[in-house]
Structure 1
Amino acid sequence: MHSLTVKLSLLALAGSIAALVVWTVSSPAITDLPETVVIEPGPYTYRPAGNYRYYGKLVEAPLEQLVAEAPLEIMKFQVSRAEYAACVADGACKASVVTQGGSPNSATMPQTEVNWYDATAYAAWFSRQTGLHWRLPDDREWQRAAAERFVEEAIVAEAEDDPAQRWLQAYARNVAARDGDEAELKPRGAFGENSHGLFDLAGNVWEWTNTCVANTNLSDDGAKPLVQQEYCGAHIAEGKHRAIVIDLVRNPKVGGCAAGLPADYVGFRLVLVR
């Protein structure tokens, strides 16, 4: 009888421990989630990033007409300094040279001076803390979310075969797109919202994506990729124009842009995968 009582007590204790473990795992540390916007399924256009060649000649990437079958949920604002500081305080993110303090608006400033690894580390930490799956958007998703804020690059004349001249033309386009830029960093929301209700897209903070730099050879019809080589030591950062930024770089203005005109600042926002 005594043995049976002990066994029942042990079973009850084991059940309590199991219940405690389940509660601990399922109870998120962060329940106050950032505002998100859900972009409904539907048609959109996408021009891929990277260098495209047709029979060895550098050409513009083909414009794709696509239909999204699933909704896209993405942060309404870029990750702020205060939000990133919580990850740093928890030991999961590396401290940035840009910290809270000073200006009264500092906490609401977008977090900049973060590289691609910093952004992905924050996404992993935030996923653990909320019990949800957060990640950087890929370039396709960012363009879909940006809608009219995406800056479509003008087509360079196909007769222009000199890569150096094409590069100079692209550089000049990007300079023109940024004419009248305000270099001063501003609090989140300062650059307004787009038609989807997302703020600060194509402001002066570019945003990291999960899209690697790619070199693509087109097939005979000039439309479909025949061979594609990715280099993931640099990723696409989207803003007033596309920028290719080396993954380790936190400040693209000091030589960290792999090609073209560098971004003013680089930050990020995350996609929520449900």
Structure 2
Amino acid sequence: MTTHAGTDAVSGISIAIPLALLAVLSGAVAVETGFVAFGKTDSRLASPELITIRPRAFSYREPAEYFRNGLAVDAPKRDVNVATPLYIMKFQTTRGEYQQCVAESVCVPPEDQSGEPAKDVPVTGVSYDDAVRYAAWISKRTGEDWRLPSDFELAYAAADRFPDDALGVDADETNPAIRWLADYEREARRSASVDPRPQRKGSFGISETGLVDFGGNIWEWTLTCNRRIDFDKPASAEEPDAETCGIMIASGRHRSPMSGFVRNPKGGGCSVGAPPDNLGFRLVRHPTFVQSIKDFTLRALADILGPTTRAQTEQNSNEG
């Protein structure tokens, strides 16, 4: 009798936990969809299409410029286990989307660019400051929290489409000719596009994670400040942040340090290497409290119910 009672208790707990999690998820979804009102802001603007980058291990090379003995060396590469999902726009911000901000006299019109005049062409001719202003505007209009991604987040989202800027020269190599040749070959690979005109969204392919058009002829602004690190000098205790840094990283087919006010990369502002063809951006969305509860619940249910359910819940979360 004791054995049966113990078994029944364990069985009851195993059923109760998923049911409790499901109840939490149902409540969160009800609030999120507006079925239950709980101080939810009525959004007047539809949110951009998002993709969810699921947690995984990721290898990342730092974007800073590293030097030793006066010579450029490759930035370190580190393995990172990302624990939380990343919500990022599937496409770059388009001219049509940006124009809504301009129409409300919040955003500054972009510089004129050649190419397709259609609204579904990514907006270009925008500075870092323009992108930050747009993020603040769309946050207010949707009732959500939007911002530019960091270089790490953009690399994480782009996955197989993100470039490795390494020279590939041994850190102990002191022959400047070898380094010069490696740098020359790298810059040759970065040569300008045959046709740098902005194209309609969807023209430059998709990453293994579902991110569209990264690495085409549009470089994307990030929140990451460009840094120069000399291994022969003491490390600085303070690192510049996005608000105090004047040179930001724009990422595309390669990384480009750009002054935050620059709109036309051909007009200067690139501190090193070949300039980008165009400057645009996409945003990440910080999850709301409800979305965080939803993600936690889905992951917990998947862990309890097994691999098959895990795959299904991840698919449902992506679609939601």
Q: TM-score range by the shorter chain?
A: 0.7 to 0.9
Is 2:44–2:141's contact at 8 Å kept on the other side of the alignment?
Answer: yes
Cα deviation per residue 1:217-242 (whole Å; 9 max; x = unaligned)? Answer: 4499xxxx943754711100000011
The CA RMSD over aligned residues, in Å, is 2.9
Partner of 1:26: 41
Cα deviation per residue 1:128-170 (whole Å; 9 max; x = unaligned)? Answer: 00000000000000111111101112423432465x9857743
Partner of 1:264: 277
How far 1:44 sits from its partner (Å)?
A: 0.2
Q: TM-score, normalised by structure 2?
A: 0.69
Is 1:52–1:216's contact at 8 Å kept on the other side of the alignment?
Answer: yes
Cα deviation per residue 1:95-133 (whole Å; 9 max; x = unaligned)? Answer: 112389x95x51011000000000000000000000000
Do the aligned partners of residues 232 and 168 (structure 1) sit closer, same or farther apart at CA in structure 2, a change above 3 Å counting? farther
Partner of 1:135: 147
Cα deviation per residue 1:73-96 (whole Å; 9 max; x = unaligned)? Answer: 100000000000000111111111
How far 1:189 sits from its partner (Å)?
A: 0.6
Instruction: Answer yes or no: is 1:107 the counterpart of 2:119.
Output: yes
How far 1:187 sits from its partner (Å)?
A: 0.6
Rounded to whole Å, the distance in 2 between the matches of 1:226 and 1:195 is 37
Cα deviation per residue 1:212-265 (whole Å; 9 max; x = unaligned)? Answer: 011224499xxxx94375471110000001111111110001222122110000
Instruction: Answer yes or no: is 1:195 the counterpart of 2:202.
Output: no
Instruction: Answer yes or no: is 1:37 the counterpart of 2:51.
Output: yes
Cα deviation per residue 1:164-191 (whole Å; 9 max; x = unaligned)? Answer: 9857743541332447643232111100
Partner of 2:169: 156
Instruction: Answer yes or no: is 1:243 the counterpart of 2:256.
Output: yes
Is 1:78–1:267's contact at 8 Å kept on the other side of the alignment?
Answer: yes
**Mapping of residues 1-274 of structure 1, within 5 Å:** 26-30=41-45, 32-54=46-68, 57-98=71-112, 103=116, 106-153=118-165, 154-158=167-171, 159-160=173-174, 162=176, 166=179, 169-170=182-183, 172-178=185-191, 181-218=194-231, 226-227=235-236, 229-230=239-240, 232-274=245-287
Q: TM-score, normalised by structure 1?
A: 0.80
**What are the ranges of 5 or more consecutive residues in structure 1 without an aligned counterpart?**
1-21
Cα deviation per residue 1:8-34 (whole Å; 9 max; x = unaligned)? Answer: xxxxxxxxxxxxxx999822221x221
Q: Percent identity?
A: 38
Higher normalized helix content (fraction of residues):
2
Rounded to whole Å, the distance in 1 between the matches of 2:271 and 2:200 is 28
Q: Give secondary structure in 2 for the equivalent of 1:232.
A: coil
**What are the ranges of 5 or more consecutive residues in structure 2 without an aligned counterpart?**
1-36, 288-320
Do the aligned partners of residues 58 and 178 (structure 1) sit closer, same or farther apart at CA in structure 2, a change above 3 Å counting? closer
Higher normalized strand content (fraction of residues):
1
Q: Aligned pairs, how many?
A: 245
Do the aligned partners of residues 238 and 69 (structure 1) sit closer, same or farther apart at CA in structure 2, a change above 3 Å counting? same
